[in-house]
Structure 1
Amino acid sequence: MTGKATDALLFFRAWLSAPLQVGSVTPSGRALSSLMTSGISADTRTVIELGPGTGVFTDAMLKRGVAESNLILIEYNQRLAREPRLRFPAARTIQMDATQLRKVSLLPSAPVGAILSGLPLLSIPMRKVIAILDGAFSHLRQDGAFYQFTYGLRCPIPRPVLDRLRLRATYVGGTFANVPPAYVYRVSRRKPRARLIGISATADLKWAIYPAEIANYALDDCQT
């Protein structure tokens, strides 16, 4: 059996055991890998990958010059977590729930330059999506970016969530060469434009999602 066939079988078995966690029947293809890693280079330094699966995006990052030792691979699925440990021994592979990112000390001496997410955000409860993003950006350096792909036709992170976390999503591109067709977004921190009136900067708003009229912090959170 070829490497691709083995990857497809492994991915399919993982999908059968936990379809909501894996999100697709087949691994991502070369075209999607190229889009997802288009903003990644050796200068990115430390990169976290959420849901590395069979390592398609991981391989693409290595080809773009990222050192294997600069990779932190986070996989929830026990079956899939074995694969990156074998294929990328110099990388740090952690089996854990991505919603717990904020609670983990990953690499405090080297702020993360980028996070690639293969998580099926559209099938994850909104509270967990907020926890994943909140945790991810707690590790990202100020100019770092979170890359997310989706099979849906719109940004997989709803506008109220972007507003809550003061983030913006920029459309990177899409590919019909992937099965199914996929679209990539780059999520980054917003630059402050105005002060929110009547809301304390130290208020505990952990799970709040502001109404649109309150959260009008920026109108261009999702650009093409």
Structure 2
Amino acid sequence: MNIVAFERAKQGTGASRRLRNSGRTPGIIYGGEAQPQAIEVDHNDLWHTLKKEAFHSSVLDMDLGGQTIKVVLRDVQYHPYKQQVLHIDFQRVDAKTKLHLKVPVHYTGADESTAVKVEHCTLNIVVNELDVTCMPSDLPEFIAVDLSGLKKGAALHLKDIKLPRGVTAVTRGSQNNPVLVSVVAPVAVVETPVAAAAPAKGKGKGKK
């Protein structure tokens, strides 16, 4: 994916405010052997591009001053209630250095699984993205996971899936094999028997 950026000469709170009012978003590029560099990008283009999933998990080609720089998106700051991007951070990519990024997980085949199709269970998606490390050339746009083999009472763990070549999942502490998808059994509905109606009392007897 491509993004066009421009060098930003003026910095500071006032300069950033004026930049946003003009339809630009301030940002920065850091990492690698070069010094951090202040940049600005067109806000409308950025706003629409940020809606694309691949923009968050791909190596991007940034056109800056007539040169193309390989970068990855690192951070985005949004306005608390306006549809506005306040600031954006990119990291330079070194072809010989591993990346550490979050990659989205795409689940398929759920409707064909025994758990859903036969046993009418509900699948609870616990993890929507994975923390991974890999070389830039091995970075996947997403990780595909097939759920067609799930059965009632089962759960899909990290070690149950096959990661793309060159990609390693990053786990922390005791969570070295987290649950990605859990299977929730259908709730059994127990019908409560209706109590027998009490016999109707007889109407008043005749006078003796």
Name the TM-score class by shorter chain.
under 0.3
Which of the pair is proportionally richer in helix? 1
**TM-score by structure 1 length?**
0.25
